[in-house]
Amino acid sequence: MTMTRTWTEFLESRGARAGSARLADAAHALAAARSGSIVAALAHLRVLEFSGDDARAFLHGQLSCDVANLAAGRSVRGCYCTPKGRVLASFLLWNDGKAFRMALASDLAAPIGKRLQMYVLRARVVISDAEDAEVIFGVNGPDGEAALHSALGAVPRELHDVIAHDRATVVRLAAERFLLVARREPAAALWDALAARLTPTGPAAWQWLEVVSGIPLVTVATQDQFVPQMVNLELLDAVNFRKGCYPGQEIVARSQHLGKVKRRMFLAHVPDAAAAAGDTVFSGQAGDAGGAEAHGMIVNAAPAPEGGADVLAVVQTASVAAGDVRLRAPDGPPLAFRPLPYPVE
């Protein structure tokens, strides 16, 4: 395997070998994600590493989450904002005891790393991109924990716990969902061990699980569009309102304390249509001039097991209450809103 080939391509090539599991087709993968157990190749994510004596203080002053108190073996969700409080990236951050690791959208890893590097100045912080050294898996479903235990040994017990093994680091994201960051050399054998017990899939099935769980992933298509509350990040404990200053902190705090956020992220189904991050949404709730107006955006979208797409959409709460929200055009496909697994005001 050459470092220039993507991990998904590598898995597809292994599918032609005797004894290696092929990636499930789209329908099978989505069915397994909904009611079975999967191991997913997450080529859409990358990891940045922050090491050095000043890494903790540096990140605490740049990110929305509480890094100062992030203990070894623990993880937290967070975001990185512009001075105007707009989200440049959302991520999962963990402390493996040696460095801080950040999993974020792969199309943002290089620019976010470069932007943060500008603010390191004289701080003792080293920012590195692990693209050529690591691959990322997702494991989900009732058989996932047993498969991980068989392949690796100890499995994180509590939400947001982290265990670093020799071959891979495992983060518990939910009751039956885990993120694995594996070193490239042993990754193929680890994949085969997990794929022998779980349905092997590409990223789409995992992305659907994240959508229906209400977990936003900001990408290039949606960068600089939302304050954290618009994408429900404070409901996911990704914003700490007791910490000191970070870029955009004043605006994020003002949005929290000085009034109700008018736009929120909702889960919706779009029947018989595809959708993509960055697509606009329209509402029949008019401005002063009357008529439909574009005032929302798709954050993430994934093919749904029953057909069509499931989406996370930032929409005015009044429009959701009125019920007529459309994808891409005033007469586009309607969004059928569904409850998120956490309450939204």
Residue 22 is classified by DSSP as: P
Taking only the tens of pLDDT, the chain with its 345 residues reads 344 345 556 565 555 444 456 788 999 999 999 999 999 999 999 999 999 999 999 999 999 999 999 999 999 999 999 999 999 999 999 999 999 999 999 999 999 999 999 999 999 999 999 777 899 999 999 999 999 999 999 999 999 999 999 999 999 999 999 999 999 888 999 999 999 999 999 999 999 999 999 999 999 999 999 999 999 999 999 999 999 899 999 999 998 877 678 899 999 999 988 999 999 999 875 444 445 567 799 999 999 999 999 999 999 988 898 888 999 999 999 999 999 999 987
Domain co-membership, 189 together with 326: no
**Per-residue pLDDT tens for 214-235?**
999 999 999 999 999 999 999 9
* H-assigned helices in the chain: 7-14, 26-35, 55-60, 106-117, 144-152, 184-195, 203-212, 249-257, 317-322
Q: Which tokens in the block code for residue 323?
A: 């019920």
Domain co-membership, 156 together with 52: yes
Domain co-membership, 87 together with 212: yes
> Would 255 be classed as within a structural domain?
yes
Domain CATH code at residue 245: 2.40.30.160
> Would 12 be classed as within a structural domain?
yes
Domain co-membership, 32 together with 58: yes
CA distance 338 to 323: 12
> Would 1 be classed as within a structural domain?
no
Asked whether 39 and 198 are in contact (CB, 8 A), the reply is yes
Domain co-membership, 158 together with 251: no
Domain CATH code at residue 171: 3.30.1360.120
Domain co-membership, 112 together with 137: yes
Count the domains in the chain. Answer: 2
CA distance 19 to 304: 30
> Would 2 be classed as within a structural domain?
no
Does the pTM surpass 0.85? The reply is yes
DSSP letters, 128-163, are: EE-TTTEEEEEEESTTHHHHHHHHHS----STTBEE
Nearest to 138 by CA among 75, 216, 95, 194: 194
Query: Which residues fall within 8 angstroms of residue 305, CB to CB, at 6 or more apart?
Result: 27, 30, 31, 33, 34, 208
Domain co-membership, 118 together with 195: yes
Domain of residue 271: give its range: 220-338
Residue after which a domain boundary falls, among 218, 235, 260: 218
Domain co-membership, 309 together with 186: no
Beta bridge partners of 266: 313
